[in-house]
Amino acid sequence: MYKTGIKIDNFLEIAQILNASDTLHIAFHDDPYPYIIPLSYGFDVVEEELVIYVFINKESRANALIKKNPFVAIESEILYNYFETPYEMVSCSYDSIMAHGKMEELDRDQYDDGLDFILTHCGYEGFIYNEAFLDDIVMYKIVLEDVSGRRCLNRNI
């Protein structure tokens, strides 16, 4: 039987995957299909909860969808390599997480903190950005719920 990966329940391991991943995919409610976008993100651990920070252009389709329904699904992964399986197929080694949450708009005075988390996660800790940029965005946080992880590793790596 072909295995699809091992479930990850450990909070610390899930946080480590989120830290090592570079892109977050967010699925928004739309009609007739979900609308999914990749975003850079930052995160924090607050009282045993993972809190994601993202920003979106004020005039974007995603922002309009959030106003209609703020409940989203997220996914993030780390792809390590591809390998041949004993089943004469090709698979990949990966770590991934999925979760649900609600997009919560931050007050303008919280934007600096949100951007600090994002810039730090992206490798630009302490970066001084042009504050005019803030006029064009909306900063959100997502407190993750129903978090689950999967791991599939090639034993040869």
Q: What residue ranges define each of the domains in the chain, with the CATH number in brackets?
A: 6-152 (2.30.110.10)
**pLDDT of 1:** 43
**pLDDT of 154:** 74
**pLDDT of 138:** 98
Q: pLDDT tens digit string along 106-148? A: 999 999 999 999 999 999 999 999 999 999 999 999 999 999 9
**pLDDT of 155:** 54
pTM, entire model: 0.91
Angle at 40 between CA 10 and CA 138, to 5 degrees: 115
Quote the CA–CA distance of 72 and 144 in Å, as a whole number. 10
**pLDDT of 84:** 87
**pLDDT of 157:** 44
Quote the CA–CA distance of 124 and 126 in Å, as a whole number. 6
Tokens of 40: 């850079």
Quote the CA–CA distance of 47 and 71 in Å, as a whole number. 21
**pLDDT of 153:** 82
Q: Is the dihedral angle over the CA atoms 16, 23, 96, 81 positive or is it negative?
A: negative
80 contacts 93 by C-beta, under 8 angstroms: yes
Please count the other Cβ atoms lying within 10 Å of the Cβ belonging to residue 139.
Answer: 21
**pLDDT of 96:** 96
List, for the chain, all residue ranges whose pLDDT scores fall below the cut of 50: 1, 157
Quote the CA–CA distance of 39 and 137 in Å, as a whole number. 13
